Chains A and B, each alone.
Chain A
Amino acid sequence: DQQVKQNSPSLSVQEGRISILNCDYTNSMFDYFLWYKKYPAEGPTFLISISSIKDKNEDGRFTVFLNKSAKHLSLHIVPSQPGDSAVYFCAARTIQGAQKLVFGQGTRLTINP
Protein backbone atom coordinates (compact mmCIF):
# COMPACT_ATOMS: atom_id res chain seq x y z
CA ASP A 1 0.00 0.00 0.00
CA GLN A 2 1.56 3.27 -1.15
CA GLN A 3 1.43 5.63 1.83
CA VAL A 4 2.86 8.57 -0.13
CA LYS A 5 1.72 9.18 -3.68
CA GLN A 6 2.79 11.55 -6.40
CA ASN A 7 0.21 11.05 -9.10
CA SER A 8 1.92 13.11 -11.80
CA PRO A 9 4.95 11.31 -13.26
CA SER A 10 5.95 14.40 -15.19
CA LEU A 11 5.32 18.13 -15.42
CA SER A 12 6.44 20.66 -18.01
CA VAL A 13 6.53 24.37 -17.17
CA GLN A 14 7.75 27.44 -18.99
CA GLU A 15 10.72 29.31 -17.55
CA GLY A 16 9.63 32.12 -15.26
CA ARG A 17 6.23 30.61 -14.50
CA ILE A 18 5.15 28.79 -11.35
CA SER A 19 5.73 25.04 -10.94
CA ILE A 20 3.36 23.20 -8.63
CA LEU A 21 4.17 19.64 -7.60
CA ASN A 22 1.62 17.66 -5.63
CA CYS A 23 1.78 14.85 -3.11
CA ASP A 24 -0.88 12.90 -1.21
CA TYR A 25 -0.46 10.69 1.83
CA THR A 26 -2.57 8.27 3.80
CA ASN A 27 -0.83 7.85 7.17
CA SER A 28 -2.02 10.40 9.74
CA MET A 29 0.99 9.54 11.96
CA PHE A 30 3.44 11.36 9.68
CA ASP A 31 5.00 14.29 11.57
CA TYR A 32 7.35 15.76 8.96
CA PHE A 33 7.13 16.09 5.22
CA LEU A 34 10.10 16.73 2.99
CA TRP A 35 10.87 17.43 -0.63
CA TYR A 36 13.99 16.16 -2.30
CA LYS A 37 15.39 17.07 -5.69
CA LYS A 38 17.34 14.59 -7.76
CA TYR A 39 19.52 15.07 -10.81
CA PRO A 40 20.55 12.08 -12.96
CA ALA A 41 23.44 10.03 -11.55
CA GLU A 42 23.35 11.94 -8.25
CA GLY A 43 21.83 11.28 -4.86
CA PRO A 44 18.65 13.06 -3.73
CA THR A 45 19.26 16.51 -2.28
CA PHE A 46 17.13 17.88 0.53
CA LEU A 47 15.14 20.90 -0.61
CA ILE A 48 12.58 21.95 1.99
CA SER A 49 10.48 20.46 4.76
CA ILE A 50 7.40 21.20 6.81
CA SER A 51 6.25 20.06 10.20
CA SER A 52 2.77 18.62 10.56
CA ILE A 53 1.89 21.48 12.94
CA LYS A 54 2.38 24.09 10.21
CA ASP A 55 0.56 24.76 6.96
CA LYS A 56 3.24 26.67 5.07
CA ASN A 57 7.00 26.91 4.91
CA GLU A 58 8.91 29.18 2.58
CA ASP A 59 12.56 29.23 1.52
CA GLY A 60 13.43 31.61 -1.27
CA ARG A 61 11.72 30.48 -4.46
CA PHE A 62 10.38 27.34 -2.81
CA THR A 63 7.22 27.11 -0.72
CA VAL A 64 5.62 23.99 0.66
CA PHE A 65 1.96 23.94 1.66
CA LEU A 66 0.38 21.30 3.87
CA ASN A 67 -3.35 20.58 4.05
CA LYS A 68 -3.73 18.03 6.85
CA SER A 69 -7.46 17.59 6.47
CA ALA A 70 -6.98 16.62 2.83
CA LYS A 71 -3.71 14.77 3.53
CA HIS A 72 -2.15 16.73 0.73
CA LEU A 73 0.98 18.78 0.29
CA SER A 74 2.37 20.77 -2.58
CA LEU A 75 5.65 22.36 -3.56
CA HIS A 76 5.55 25.69 -5.36
CA ILE A 77 8.57 26.95 -7.26
CA VAL A 78 8.39 30.53 -8.47
CA PRO A 79 9.85 31.69 -10.72
CA SER A 80 10.87 28.41 -12.33
CA GLN A 81 14.39 28.27 -13.74
CA PRO A 82 16.06 25.80 -16.15
CA GLY A 83 18.22 24.47 -13.29
CA ASP A 84 15.04 23.35 -11.55
CA SER A 85 14.62 20.58 -14.15
CA ALA A 86 15.00 17.40 -12.09
CA VAL A 87 12.99 14.65 -10.44
CA TYR A 88 11.27 15.76 -7.25
CA PHE A 89 10.43 13.31 -4.50
CA CYS A 90 7.96 13.92 -1.73
CA ALA A 91 8.78 12.07 1.50
CA ALA A 92 7.17 11.68 4.90
CA ARG A 93 8.40 10.63 8.32
CA THR A 94 6.62 9.18 11.33
CA ILE A 95 7.02 10.28 14.93
CA GLN A 96 8.41 6.90 15.95
CA GLY A 97 12.16 6.42 16.20
CA ALA A 98 14.90 6.22 13.54
CA GLN A 99 13.25 8.85 11.32
CA LYS A 100 12.57 6.47 8.46
CA LEU A 101 11.37 8.20 5.32
CA VAL A 102 8.58 6.98 3.06
CA PHE A 103 8.88 8.32 -0.48
CA GLY A 104 6.49 9.01 -3.29
CA GLN A 105 7.21 7.81 -6.81
CA GLY A 106 8.65 11.12 -7.94
CA THR A 107 7.67 13.77 -10.50
CA ARG A 108 9.99 14.72 -13.35
CA LEU A 109 9.89 18.50 -13.75
CA THR A 110 11.06 20.00 -17.03
CA ILE A 111 11.48 23.76 -17.33
CA ASN A 112 11.27 24.94 -20.92
CA PRO A 113 13.06 28.12 -22.04
Chain B
Amino acid sequence: DAGITQSPRHKVTETGTPVTLRCHQTENHRYMYWYRQDPGHGLRLIHYSYGVKDTDKGEVSDGYSVSRSKTEDFLLTLESATSSQTSVYFCAISEPDREAAFFGQGTRLTVV
Protein backbone atom coordinates (compact mmCIF):
# COMPACT_ATOMS: atom_id res chain seq x y z
CA ASP B 1 0.00 0.00 0.00
CA ALA B 2 1.17 3.48 -0.88
CA GLY B 3 1.47 4.77 2.69
CA ILE B 4 -2.24 5.45 3.15
CA THR B 5 -4.02 4.66 6.38
CA GLN B 6 -7.76 4.95 6.84
CA SER B 7 -9.42 4.95 10.24
CA PRO B 8 -11.58 3.47 11.47
CA ARG B 9 -11.73 0.41 9.22
CA HIS B 10 -15.24 -0.44 10.33
CA LYS B 11 -17.92 1.64 12.00
CA VAL B 12 -21.56 1.22 12.88
CA THR B 13 -23.42 4.39 13.76
CA GLU B 14 -26.98 5.54 14.29
CA THR B 15 -29.01 7.68 11.96
CA GLY B 16 -28.62 11.37 12.70
CA THR B 17 -25.23 11.18 14.39
CA PRO B 18 -22.13 12.91 13.00
CA VAL B 19 -19.30 10.68 11.81
CA THR B 20 -15.72 11.54 10.84
CA LEU B 21 -13.48 9.30 8.78
CA ARG B 22 -9.76 9.94 8.65
CA CYS B 23 -7.25 9.43 5.87
CA HIS B 24 -3.55 9.75 6.67
CA GLN B 25 -0.77 9.57 4.08
CA THR B 26 2.99 9.41 4.46
CA GLU B 27 3.77 10.05 0.76
CA ASN B 28 3.48 13.85 0.82
CA HIS B 29 1.19 13.68 -2.22
CA ARG B 30 -0.56 16.89 -3.20
CA TYR B 31 -3.97 15.50 -4.16
CA MET B 32 -6.28 13.57 -1.86
CA TYR B 33 -9.72 12.16 -2.59
CA TRP B 34 -12.67 10.52 -0.91
CA TYR B 35 -14.70 7.99 -2.89
CA ARG B 36 -17.59 5.76 -1.96
CA GLN B 37 -18.20 2.34 -3.46
CA ASP B 38 -21.71 1.00 -3.87
CA PRO B 39 -23.00 -2.01 -5.83
CA GLY B 40 -23.81 -1.10 -9.42
CA HIS B 41 -22.08 2.28 -9.18
CA GLY B 42 -18.40 1.56 -9.01
CA LEU B 43 -16.51 4.26 -7.12
CA ARG B 44 -17.91 7.77 -7.02
CA LEU B 45 -16.03 10.89 -5.99
CA ILE B 46 -17.35 12.65 -2.89
CA HIS B 47 -14.81 15.43 -2.31
CA TYR B 48 -11.20 16.06 -3.19
CA SER B 49 -8.33 18.28 -2.11
CA TYR B 50 -5.64 19.87 -4.28
CA GLY B 51 -3.65 21.29 -1.37
CA VAL B 52 -3.82 22.25 2.29
CA LYS B 53 -7.13 24.02 2.92
CA ASP B 54 -8.03 23.66 -0.79
CA THR B 55 -10.98 21.36 -1.33
CA ASP B 56 -13.81 20.97 -3.80
CA LYS B 57 -16.94 18.92 -4.35
CA GLY B 58 -17.19 15.75 -6.34
CA GLU B 59 -20.09 13.93 -7.91
CA VAL B 60 -21.89 12.89 -4.69
CA SER B 61 -21.01 15.56 -2.12
CA ASP B 62 -24.44 16.20 -0.54
CA GLY B 63 -24.39 15.39 3.19
CA TYR B 64 -20.60 15.34 3.38
CA SER B 65 -17.93 17.86 4.29
CA VAL B 66 -14.15 17.63 4.29
CA SER B 67 -11.17 19.35 5.81
CA ARG B 68 -7.46 19.30 5.13
CA SER B 69 -5.42 21.26 7.64
CA LYS B 70 -2.18 19.35 6.98
CA THR B 71 -0.74 17.76 3.85
CA GLU B 72 -0.95 14.29 5.37
CA ASP B 73 -4.51 14.31 6.71
CA PHE B 74 -7.85 14.48 4.90
CA LEU B 75 -11.01 14.18 6.98
CA LEU B 76 -14.47 13.25 5.72
CA THR B 77 -17.42 14.21 7.92
CA LEU B 78 -20.98 13.01 7.60
CA GLU B 79 -22.81 15.82 9.29
CA SER B 80 -25.92 13.77 10.13
CA ALA B 81 -25.60 10.18 8.99
CA THR B 82 -28.41 8.61 6.98
CA SER B 83 -28.98 5.02 5.89
CA SER B 84 -28.18 6.00 2.29
CA GLN B 85 -24.63 6.75 3.45
CA THR B 86 -24.06 3.12 4.36
CA SER B 87 -21.16 2.31 2.05
CA VAL B 88 -17.50 1.53 1.76
CA TYR B 89 -15.39 4.68 1.72
CA PHE B 90 -11.99 4.87 0.06
CA CYS B 91 -9.35 7.52 0.35
CA ALA B 92 -6.91 8.00 -2.52
CA ILE B 93 -3.82 10.09 -3.20
CA SER B 94 -2.00 11.22 -6.32
CA GLU B 95 0.65 13.58 -7.60
CA PRO B 96 0.40 16.00 -10.55
CA ASP B 97 3.08 14.24 -12.62
CA ARG B 98 1.72 10.71 -12.15
CA GLU B 99 -1.30 9.27 -13.91
CA ALA B 100 -2.44 6.82 -11.25
CA ALA B 101 -4.09 7.42 -7.91
CA PHE B 102 -3.39 5.03 -5.04
CA PHE B 103 -6.04 3.87 -2.64
CA GLY B 104 -6.31 3.08 1.02
CA GLN B 105 -7.83 -0.10 2.42
CA GLY B 106 -11.28 1.38 2.88
CA THR B 107 -13.71 2.06 5.73
CA ARG B 108 -16.93 0.10 5.90
CA LEU B 109 -19.61 2.36 7.40
CA THR B 110 -23.02 1.08 8.40
CA VAL B 111 -25.74 3.55 9.41
CA VAL B 112 -28.58 1.90 11.35
Contacts and interface: CB of A to CB of B under 8 A. Distances in A.
Select the residue from A43, A103, A104 with max chain B CB neighbours within 10 A. Answer: A43
Nearest to B38: A105
B42 A98 contact: no
Interface size class of A (residues with CB under 8 A): 20 to 34
A99 B42 contact: no
Interface residues of B, number: 27
B104 A43 contact: yes
Contacts of A32: 99
B87 to A, nearest CB: 14
B106 A105 contact: no
Contacts of A4: 42
Contacts of A93: 99
Interface string A26-56: 0000001010100001111110010100000
B86 interface: no
A96 B101 CA distance: 15
Interface string A75-113: 000000000000001010100011111111110000000
Interface stretch (B12-20, B43-51, B63-71, B73-81): B43-51
Contacts of B4: 43
A104 B106 contact: no
B50 A97 contact: yes
Given A43-B90, A43-B104, A100 B48 contact: yes
B103 A45 contact: yes
A105 B90 contact: no
Nearest to A93: B99
Interface string B68-112: 000000000000000000000010101010011111111000000
